[in-house]
Structure 1
Amino acid sequence: MRHLLLLLLLALLSACSEPPEPTPLASAGAAPLLLGQPATATPLPGRLPRNPHLAANGNGYMHGDGYSSDSHPGPGPLGRAMQVASRDGSRKPGGMCPIHTFDRGGRLVVLCANLLQFELQLLEPRSLKLLARYPLPARPSTFHALITLDPDKIMSDSSGAYFYLDNQDRVVIANAEQRIQRIAHRQDAEGQWRFEQVDAWDLSTQVPHDCVRPSAWFPSGECDPITGVMPDEGGLIWWWTRRGRLGTLNPQDGAVHGTQLAGEEIQNGVALDAAGLYLVSDHAMYLFALDAAGQPQQAWREVYDRGSARKSGSLSQGSGTTPTLLGERYVAITDNADRRINLLVYRREPGFAGQRLICQLPLFANDASATDNSLIGWGRSLIAENNHGYSSAFAQEDWGAVSGGISRVDLRADESGCDLVWHSPERSPSAVPKLSVQSGLAYFYSFEPQANGENAWYLTALDFASGATRFKALAGVGQAFDNNWSPITLAPDGTAYVGTFGGLVALWDAD
């Protein structure tokens, strides 16, 4: 009977319609609109290469670009008469909108989710008006969470989150039925926007899919959801899964190649350059390249300290970072060492024969050190955020347990190690941080406890050079504004978008 009731609830919510005009998120109290003072832009030197099969750098992928630098080449808010808009999605399919990309017209192409389903949405910039939506299959973790009444099954599942927008504004995404879809959005003769699938490839022969679903509540086989997809510079689509499978899809002829890491899991995103695919499992850091037949082959592997257990502030036992590429020679992650995590920087060349590890620097305080968000990487600098003490918007009760801390580390030019440049005590418990190259500011999402027991949530800008907090712009007060592991994303027009537990928030300078 319980399963029948849950199915009826699923069907009922899936039938709800999403109104085009947004309902703003309700703030649960008053708080200062701006802490600090407006900043002055200080552009940073340098630029990153663009993957020709991705949208422009900063526009097409959760971590910004093929290097997963978490940087955006354009501006970010400077704290000048800040404007705020939000969209409440908590009572509708789509709900929280954590992943944001931008088409060439500046429109948002976002992945939204609630406890029951994922969907793509096309939103008008800043106003957040809904232009189109495209439902996606429910993930197995949704049904598993319903059976066990444990929402952590959903929170620890990153499958499907790593999609990208290609160089023709098409979404490329792995859905919960082991299919890679290519989905375009177009405006019809009446001016209405629509999503439509233009290609799909079935990977079920490569990736087992005996998963919990309405027709099979207690499957006996293996379920291995596809975590994400990314293109390489030759146009192949790389894919990877929770249980350590990875491979390529040739979109021209549908050919699929794959391999598997024995006994290892992959929970994070990837980075790519001309040499191949960089990924981190819960045991080791890898480069995979293609052999003459197009089969992915391990080019090198570096084991790191994965610690003895999953930490508070982490979604798995192992590194919580997507690999970040620096320049032409380095790749960086963090480990999961027990007392203090370490920033690790490796030489990444395929044929390098010496010691790959050139930086191992402990971060944050003893027994208060964890991150499940990727590093910002620019030039020879890396910025890490401490997520220790945070669980999720569902479960967090003790906000004093959130340890906080943000550190910038620079790699020495002679490759003899790396050095702590600055440390900030700001507490940004779960947001993927971003750097605006044009503004010279790194953006985080912090909270300030209020007298009414709620948290005020702020877009927080730190000076890249000094680490000084320049300003904090209020997004809103209350649980609906909790970030809940979503990225901050900077649009080409300088607007900052933050996925929240209740929906989506936009913040920008007054024109």
Structure 2
Amino acid sequence: MTRRTGAVTRGAIASAGALAAAIALAAPAGAVPGTPGLGPLGTATVHGDIYSTDTIPGVGPGTQTGVRASIPGGTCSSVFVGSDDMPVALCTAYVGTDPLETTPPTVVLLDPATAAPLARMQLEKGALLGGVYGYLDDQDRVVVADGAGVLHAVGHARDSSGAWTLTDEVLADLGPLIRDGDYVTGLAPGVDGRIWFVTVNAVVGTVVPGDPASARTLDLPADAGQPPGERVSNGITVRPGGASVMTSRALYEVDQGEDGQPHIRWRRAYGPGAARHPGMLSHGSGSTPTYFGPHQDDYVAYLDAADQSTLFVLDRASGDVRCAMPAFATTLHPETAAPDGTLIEGPAQSENSPIALASPGGGEWSLIIANTYGFQYFPMAVDGPAVPAQAPYRGGMTSIVTDGSGCTRQWTSNTRTATLPKATTGDRLIHGLSYGDAPDSGVLGDVLTSGIAQKTGPVFYTAIDADTGDEVVRSFVGTAPVDEPMELTGTVAPNIGDGDGPGVYWQGTVGRMLRIGPPAG
């Protein structure tokens, strides 16, 4: 079982001086260099960096978990914080009840001290994930695709009266390159100034902003000689000279030619399972691929979607398997437990990308995976029926350590994290919003953790020690359904005016935007 206390037990979070020392010691170990054209490392992309490590420099709020909140006018799937300390969120409102539908995605600028909305701009409606996978460029502009395939750079500035306004620059119109019924679902900046994109129907491409003739595309399944029908419901992970794309049936490693034309390096099919698992958005893997290694992209990690999910670590250049093992230790397969003996009850799957956190001494990486099996999404968010239709949500998280040649389970936690977790390198903590402890197993426990009942009750900010799995902070921040976490994506940023002190955790919920941390410095 996890250990819980009301305070962080790490000495690195005891004081501002100790925090600064922790940052200085931890930063060199596995730090990902900045990307030209991209905003601040850690807070400018959905997964923290172009390699999708879900790690952020610096530290979290520690025990300074005061909450400021606002109603941004929708559910904010992701939030970025720029070099000017201004948070900007991508939000979508829900309308109607039969059926439940979404409005077009909206860019919302937030006050860094109070979380209050300052300005907003609505984009054209498209696929659900079209308003999720954007990023912040080096001018603190949100780069995002609208429903027509137009790439926007939405900036912010103050007018002569001091009021905040949003500006819009069109970077590219990809509409002519996208078939009817298809939408851009993932975006990422390349290291050469190009923008990578991928569509729902598995078309990957690159484009130079402001130069429509530079666009190059590749239909992944067709080029690999596969039948049509593969879909993409995850982001795209980028590296120098290429990218990694997960479809509903295979992982593709893609190289980029000198003219920007993508080419398939290798394709690796995986087990998708018999149907969509409850707690997954689509029938197939939920992993955005994660790059890691001594040179940041030596290896690529992902999970399949077989009935017993497997974590794979591949050699990025060749596609060869470096190691593979059951992704989770569950009561159905107790032989996969870590030395702590902790097990997750029942089946386990993950809709989230693995966190890749380098060890302090170098040479090893912790791949940390959150269990989402049984999580109940809104009906319009999922692609097809689940089998079974619903299941109890037990949550939990596990850490698998690898040196690129073998894998060993380090720990398992039963904390019921219900957002995409993020790790901070300075304190080696994993941050997220979580439900309370699951009731004891049995009919009553299954009822209270399934369906609508799952989305009622207290919601907590929790921090988990990345090296031990101990839950070291739990702080009440809201109540579902208003603050239902919905597996949304947050970020951790330095506190304005106090960069060496505890950070601020920004996290959207169904109804609010939460600023969790100390008051603005």
Please tell me the TM-score bracket, short chain as reference: 0.7 to 0.9
AA of the residue aligned to 1:37? A
Deviation at 1:395, TM superposition (A): 10
Counterpart mapping for 1:19-98 below 5 A: 36-40=6-10, 42=12, 43=22, 44=26, 46=29, 47-80=31-64, 82-89=65-72, 94-98=73-77
CA displacement, residues 214-251 of structure 1 (integer Å, 9 cap, x when unaligned): xxxxxxxxx01110211110010111111111101111
One of 422, 425, 444 as aligned partner of 1:437: 425
1:170 to 2:134 alignment: no
Residue equivalent to 1:363: 328
Q: Do the aligned partners of residues 224 and 68 (structure 1) sit closer, same or farther apart at CA in structure 2, a change above 3 Å counting? A: same
Counterpart mapping for 1:421-436 below 5 A: 421-429=410-418, 431-436=419-424
Maintained 8 Å contact 1:160/1:228: no
Maintained 8 Å contact 1:450/1:456: no
Counterpart mapping for 1:261-272 below 5 A: 261-262=220-221, 263=228, 264-272=230-238
One of 285, 305, 315 as aligned partner of 1:347: 315
AA of the residue aligned to 1:101? F
Deviation at 1:189, TM superposition (A): 2.2
Counterpart mapping for 1:252-263 below 5 A: 252-254=210-212, 255-262=214-221, 263=228
Q: How many residues align?
A: 436
Residue equivalent to 1:198: 169
Deviation at 1:311, TM superposition (A): 0.2
Deviation at 1:357, TM superposition (A): 4.1
How far, CA to CA, are the matches of 2:167 and 2:518 in structure 1? 34
Residue equivalent to 2:482: 480
Q: Give every structure 1 segment of 4 or more consecutive aligned residues whose post-TM-superposition deviation is greater than 6 Å.
A: 449-453
Counterpart mapping for 1:436-455 below 5 A: 436-448=424-436, 454-455=456-457
Deviation at 1:443, TM superposition (A): 1.1
Maintained 8 Å contact 1:235/1:250: yes
1:184 to 2:122 alignment: no
Q: Do the aligned partners of residues 127 and 283 (structure 1) sit closer, same or farther apart at CA in structure 2, a change above 3 Å counting? A: same
Residue equivalent to 1:509: 518
Residue equivalent to 2:280: 314
How far, CA to CA, are the matches of 2:7 and 2:261 in structure 1? 54
Residue equivalent to 2:305: 336
Maintained 8 Å contact 2:107/2:120: yes
AA of the residue aligned to 1:88? I
SS in 2 for 1:205: helix
AA of the residue aligned to 1:291? G
CA displacement, residues 324-365 of structure 1 (integer Å, 9 cap, x when unaligned): 111221111111011x2111111112xx3x834433334242
1:100 to 2:100 alignment: no
1:135 to 2:122 alignment: yes
Across the aligned residues of Structure 1 and Structure 2, the Cα RMSD in angstroms comes to 2.4
How far, CA to CA, are the matches of 1:403 and 1:449 in structure 2? 9
- Percent identical among aligned pairs is 29
CA displacement, residues 81-118 of structure 1 (integer Å, 9 cap, x when unaligned): x21111124xxxx4112210012121111111112221
How far, CA to CA, are the matches of 1:111 and 1:388 in structure 2? 25
How far, CA to CA, are the matches of 1:88 and 1:35 in structure 2? 31
Return 5+ residue gaps in structure 2 as ranges: 13-21, 95-102, 222-227, 333-345, 359-364, 382-388, 440-447, 496-502
Maintained 8 Å contact 2:47/2:55: yes
Residue equivalent to 2:354: 375
Maintained 8 Å contact 2:256/2:262: yes
Residue equivalent to 1:251: 209
Residue equivalent to 1:496: 505
1:241 to 2:241 alignment: no
AA of the residue aligned to 1:332? A
How far, CA to CA, are the matches of 1:68 and 1:268 in structure 2? 11
SS in 2 for 1:481: coil
Maintained 8 Å contact 2:376/2:390: no
Maintained 8 Å contact 2:68/2:114: yes
Residue equivalent to 1:458: 460
Residue equivalent to 2:260: 294
Deviation at 1:77, TM superposition (A): 1.3
AA of the residue aligned to 2:271? D
Q: TM-score, length-normalised on structure 1?
A: 0.81
Deviation at 1:158, TM superposition (A): 1.9
How far, CA to CA, are the matches of 1:102 and 1:314 in structure 2? 28
Return 5+ residue gaps in structure 1 as ranges: 1-33, 142-156, 210-222
One of 372, 375, 400 as aligned partner of 1:390: 375
